[in-house]
């Protein structure tokens, strides 16, 4: 029997049952499983992993009988809910999906599944990066499942709390099991995909402050070494920067109205982006290696522009 046909039958049986089914009951109802024994168990585990990789959660529950474990697919985990959208809400959703792309057709596919026609005349105005780990992380956050991934050459075991997109990057906030503390991870630094556990296996403790673990300042997001950085902002932008960052960051106010701000930085690229957003009104004073990084970035930008233009 073709494995795809067996997987399809498996989904139908697990989805339509009113109670969890044992492996023996599944094998009796679905042709194509090996005879009873370890081969059958391994075939079922492979099928279950395949379904999970496709976003189909197979719930495991305790049952009576010699096997003691039963399986089913909960309809609420499988079917999209009826959003009951008004026409103007459908139009707004269409605009959002059309103008912001996530690097794959998932948004447009979701509209199709909801029965909402997708517009073709709108050009995208923004694109969010799609990364290999994102689907698994989204599912882990949704189902409160434990997740594991490789990060900077090390396996991390995390109970995820939230995903956020800031300053052009995705960030995951969760409880690091090994370090027993909140951690923020840059998703683009995760190596490969993220593997999620069973639904409910990664619920964070009550009172876990996920938003508080994600700093407002983008240059503090990440796990790189924290370094003090001093930035000079001239009188044109000085007052606004102090208002945004607070008086606590000000280390010096100069007679000409310029200010020097002291920042704790763990994300070099985010700091450079912030300084560049101030145009000619800001300059990194120290440390020297941060100034050098800024110079390198500007030189590469100029060289790339030169190549494109000529």
Pairing of strands 100-101, 126-127: parallel
Band of the pLDDT at 159, cuts 50, 70, 90? very high
- Write the DSSP assignment of 78-127 as a string of letters: HSPP-----HHHHHHHHHHHHHEE-SSTHHHHHHHHTT-PPPSSPPPSEE
pLDDT value of position 126: 47
Long-range contacts of 9-12 (CB under 8 A, 24+ apart): 10/47, 10/51, 11/51, 11/56, 11/73
- Read off the pLDDT band of 308 (50, 70, 90): very low
Amino acid 222: pLDDT: 65
**Residues 67 and 40: beta-carbon distance below 8 Å:** no
For CATH 1.10.10.10, list the domain ranges present in the chain. 3-78
Q: Which residue has the tokens 């474990």?
A: 69
pLDDT band at 168 (very low <50, low <70, confident <90, very high): low
Which region among 77-91, 264-278, 290-304 has the lowest average model confidence (pLDDT)?
A: 77-91
Give yes or no for residue 298 having a pLDDT over 80: yes
Q: Is the pLDDT of residue 161 over 70?
A: yes
Answer yes or no: is pLDDT of 100 > 90: no
- Lowest mean per-residue pLDDT among 4-8, 40-44, 255-259: 4-8
Does the pLDDT at position 70 exceed 60?
Answer: yes
Is residue 137 within 8 Å of residue 148, measured between CB atoms? no
Task: Please tell me the class of the 134-214 domain.
Answer: mainly beta
In this prediction, what percent of the chain has a pLDDT beyond 70? Answer: 78
**Ranges in the chain annotated CATH 2.30.30:** 134-214
Domain spanning 3-78: CATH 2.40.30.170? no
In CATH, what number does 227-309 get? 3.30.70
What pLDDT shows up at residue 310? 44
Mean pLDDT of the chain: 81
Query: Residue 26: which residues within 8 A CB-CB, separation 6 or more?
Result: 10, 13, 14, 33, 44, 71
């Amino acid at each position: 029997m073709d494995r795809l046909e067996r997987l399809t039958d498996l989904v139908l049986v697990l989805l339509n049952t009113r109670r969890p089914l044992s492996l023996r009951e599944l094998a009796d109802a679905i042709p194509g499983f090996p005879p009873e024994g370890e081969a059958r168990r391994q075939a079922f585990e492979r099928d279950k992993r395949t379904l999970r990789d496709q976003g189909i959660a197979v719930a495991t529950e305790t049952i009576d009988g010699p096997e003691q474990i039963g399986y089913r697919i909960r309809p609420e985990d499988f079917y999209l809910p009826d959003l009951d959208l008004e026409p103007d809400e459908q139009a707004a959703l269409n605009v959002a999906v059309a103008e912001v792309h996530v690097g794959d057709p998932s948004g447009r596919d979701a509209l199709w599944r909801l029965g909402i026609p997708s517009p073709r005349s709108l050009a995208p105005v923004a694109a969010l990066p799609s990364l290999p780990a994102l689907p698994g992380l989204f599912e882990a956050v949704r189902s409160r499942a434990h997740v594991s991934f490789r990060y900077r050459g090390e396996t991390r075991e995390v109970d995820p709390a939230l995903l956020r997109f800031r300053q052009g990057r995705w960030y995951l906030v969760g409880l690091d099991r090994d370090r027993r503390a909140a951690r923020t991870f840059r998703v683009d630094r995760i190596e490969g995909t993220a593997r999620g556990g069973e639904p409910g296996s990664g619920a964070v403790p009550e009172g876990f402050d996920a938003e508080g673990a994600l700093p407002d300042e983008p240059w503090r997001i990440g796990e790189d070494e924290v370094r003090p950085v001093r930035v000079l902002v001239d009188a044109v932008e000085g007052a606004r920067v102090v208002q945004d960052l607070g008086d606590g960051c000000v280390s010096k106010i100069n007679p000409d109205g310029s200010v020097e701000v002291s920042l704790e930085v763990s994300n070099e690229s985010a700091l450079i982006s912030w300084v560049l957003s101030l145009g000619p009104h800001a300059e990194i004073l120290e440390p020297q290696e941060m100034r050098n990084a800024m110079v390198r970035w500007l030189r590469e930008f100029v060289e790339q522009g030169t190549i494109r233009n000529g």
